[in-house]
Structure 1
């Protein structure tokens, strides 16, 4: 049956089966993903599709593609909204990486660029990158922020929460279902490196686990605060950064949603991570209760050490009151 979905700035348009059904299809199917991309390509600057009833419950994930100037909102692995965006222009490029929403403000104003309005601001880094409503000319035009249609920014603000994962990528890739549970397996004893485990530093909040191939180590963050660190051994090549988001779902559903992200060392279109991460058995026992729907695991070739010449910028940092753009 056909449905109606409102597009910003236009009357409601009829979305027939060819456009509507892919949104409700499993995220792992190849043809529905292609149809979703086709739907996104048809949007004019300032347009969006908003259909949250397709997946009314579950963890949220937003992916912003610099290549296509599109943002896609997923709930429980199903795309429920697609929007046009305007990202950073030359000299003020929007950084790629995996971020969480650190701060929210309905009526925010830039303290760097002439008190410019930034309605429905959702901060991604303390260095000044945020999602917010703004002008969309059809090409990258911001000072680093991700501009959204005003109405979409308001709708997004109404469903998101602090700690939601936002992935910014140079590629036009869409997520794929990663079958089984390839991550964080118990491996051979890891002799080097102490295990840090301080869960009381952040008793609640979204959990992200970052695994560095360069450091052979993982960090555990909850609510953006590091609560753990331990040695890890990556089995398999890591040619680019991949983000895995734990899904909830019925019997037979894929355990993870995977997105490959070009990194500082990676090619523009990296091969998705097909290996696994070996950790000590006692650490796996500590992490098991945290591996719930919405938990993200990021595997990267880059170093997480701040002294590294090309450390991975991820999940924000310490609050510094830096200006927003």
Structure 2
């Protein structure tokens, strides 16, 4: 363990967010030799040696947590309320056991878990991502992908992360750099245009096709899926569908790929486009790259208003269920709809049945 020391953290180079500058870093080392570098500056994610990490939860003490795992960098970034609070080296799945990419929720936590497949190998501070065996946990980090599919973290970092997360928090696994940017709101949800004028109804009346039943899941994590391919929006709470609506659109935005938005705790002074009597929530965008790097910055993120809308009453109901930590996944792909029989916390992009045993390491 290296001593506390002042460090200039140039995470802006990798995250496009100058959020951790001039913080004091505690950088545990994977092996004692690294302790000789106690006076060196940590300039960015690529300077960390296997087993090292940066951890500063005091930078953003409250708010929803999102963990972004970069497989190509073998790094993981922790954001709270859209602000970077941590960075760590990792070891992901080796060839033939690759860690799946996607957007997941933490399904289960167990600080003393052991593998049921690999000779009861310890998997300390396990946080399950899928029901078929992918998880975050503490383990050895050789400096390259070496696991059977899980994301290994430095032991001390795994413990710290475990103490801050909760069931339902979001984990993004991407195969290219992911840099969040804060937006006032995800504009595809606006029932009005930028001037506050109602957008015209589509032929046949889009509101007649929308439905809402939040009594189907009175409590739990809220997740929203927007499929631009389907021109539909789906709302889930605790993994159960509670609403669905078409998106009224004059023209689809020039958007390719998938972007995750996570609602923070802040508000804007501007009225919400979902309900003009309420304030705008603040959201953080996490573009998920790898599908088409040439179009990695979608117009959706740069355009303050798009010709897309929801029925007004549906939009008001949606606003009422939004809480910090609500996730919104916007994709140009067709939506994957959960079965009505599926309940409980489910990964946003996965559908493994609950009850299978954890097998990765």
In the superposition, the TM-score normalised over structure 1's length comes to 0.83
Of 159-168 and 209-218, deviating more is: 209-218
Q: How far 1:251 sits from its partner (Å)?
A: 5.8
Residues 268, 70 of structure 1: CA spacing in aligned structure 2 closer, same or farther, 3 A cutoff?
farther
Partner of 2:18: 32
User: Separation in 2 of the partners of 1:300 and 1:249?
Assistant: 25
Give CA deviations for 1:102-149 in whole Å, capped at 9, x if unaligned.
111111122233322211111111122111111111111111111111
User: Separation in 1 of the partners of 2:223 and 2:294?
Assistant: 24
| Matching residue within 315, 319, 327 for 1:284 | 315
| Matching residue within 244, 257, 263 for 2:284 | 257
Q: Which has the larger radius of gyration?
A: 2
Partner of 1:243: 260
Query: Does the 8 Å contact 2:229/2:334 carry over to 1?
Result: yes
1:215 aligns with 2:230: yes
Residues 297, 113 of structure 1: CA spacing in aligned structure 2 closer, same or farther, 3 A cutoff?
same
Q: Which runs of 5+ in 2 are unaligned?
A: 23-41, 192-198, 270-279, 339-346
Partner SS, residue 266 of structure 2: coil
Equivalent positions of 1:44-59 (< 5 A) are 44-59=49-64
Partner of 2:165: 160
Partner SS, residue 92 of structure 1: coil
Residues 283, 78 of structure 1: CA spacing in aligned structure 2 closer, same or farther, 3 A cutoff?
same
Q: Which runs of 5+ in 1 are unaligned?
A: 1-9, 24-28
User: Separation in 2 of the partners of 1:46 and 1:320?
Assistant: 32
Partner of 2:74: 69
In the superposition, the TM-score normalised over structure 2's length comes to 0.75
Query: Does the 8 Å contact 2:178/2:289 carry over to 1?
Result: no
Residues 201, 322 of structure 1: CA spacing in aligned structure 2 closer, same or farther, 3 A cutoff?
farther
Equivalent positions of 1:1-325 (< 5 A) are 10-16=1-7, 18-19=8-9, 30=16, 32=18, 38-179=43-184, 181-186=186-191, 187-190=199-202, 191=205, 194-233=209-248, 235-249=252-266, 255-262=282-289, 265-267=291-293, 270-274=296-300, 276=306, 277-305=308-336, 314=349, 317-325=352-360
Query: Does the 8 Å contact 1:224/1:316 carry over to 2?
Result: no
Query: Does the 8 Å contact 1:124/1:131 carry over to 2?
Result: yes
Residues 318, 282 of structure 1: CA spacing in aligned structure 2 closer, same or farther, 3 A cutoff?
farther
Give CA deviations for 1:262-296 in whole Å, capped at 9, x if unaligned.
36x53476223515452211210110112232211
Q: How far 1:316 sits from its partner (Å)?
A: 5.1
RMSD: 3.0
Query: Does the 8 Å contact 2:230/2:335 carry over to 1?
Result: yes
Partner SS, residue 313 of structure 2: helix
